[in-house]
Amino acid sequence: MRYVLILPVLLAACSLPGRSIFAPDPVAADSANMNATKAFAGRVPLVTILPGTSDFAGPVADAVKQALAIKPSAAFDVQATAPAGSPDAAAAMLAGSSSTAAAVARAIIADGVAPDKVSLTAATAGTEQNILVYVK
């Protein structure tokens, strides 16, 4: 009989676990990541290649392989970017990086991606000159 009287008292003293127990201080969104997503128009690049990089075949091949493992019908967009500024300066930067962007596109095709699944574009975006590879 004693057990019957003690059990309701013990249950009343307990509270159900809530969010405050598991995550009392939730982590806020990182402003650097939020700014990066805004800079890339809501898309985050699979690979970023800095100007002057010549040994990009290995990392690009690994990234393409992982993307195709997740989505076998993936398409890739290789984009040469230059910072927005004067049109002449941006055009000169994009012209300088167009050969590297074309080489990256050829490397993706050499990795087994169909040529119609690879596009090559140029844009003025961000604050630095880069080659970005996006997955669609």
pLDDT of residue 55: 87
* pLDDT tens digits, one per residue of 13-43: 555 555 455 555 656 666 655 555 555 555 6
Domain annotation covers residue 132: yes
**Domains contained in the chain, number:** 1
Domain annotation covers residue 95: yes
Question: pLDDT tier at 104 (50, 70, 90 boundaries)?
Answer: very high
Domain annotation covers residue 69: yes
- CA-nearest of 118, 102, 129, 130 to 67 is 118
| Residue 122: domain span | 46-136
Residue 32, Cβ neighbours under 10 Å: how many? 7
* pLDDT tens digits, one per residue of 107-116: 999 999 999 9
CATH (domain of 66):
3.30.1330.60
Q: Could you tell me the pTM of the whole model?
A: 0.67
Q: In Å, how far from its chain's centre is CA 104?
A: 17
The answer to whether the Cα torsion of 83, 85, 89, 95 is positive or negative is positive
* pLDDT tens digits, one per residue of 49-88: 888 888 888 999 999 999 999 999 999 999 998 888 788 8
Domain annotation covers residue 15: no
Domain annotation covers residue 4: no
pLDDT of residue 93: 86
Q: State how far the Cα of 47 lies from the Cα of 50, in Å rounded to an integer.
A: 10
Domain annotation covers residue 111: yes
Domain annotation covers residue 77: yes
pLDDT of residue 7: 56
Domain annotation covers residue 74: yes
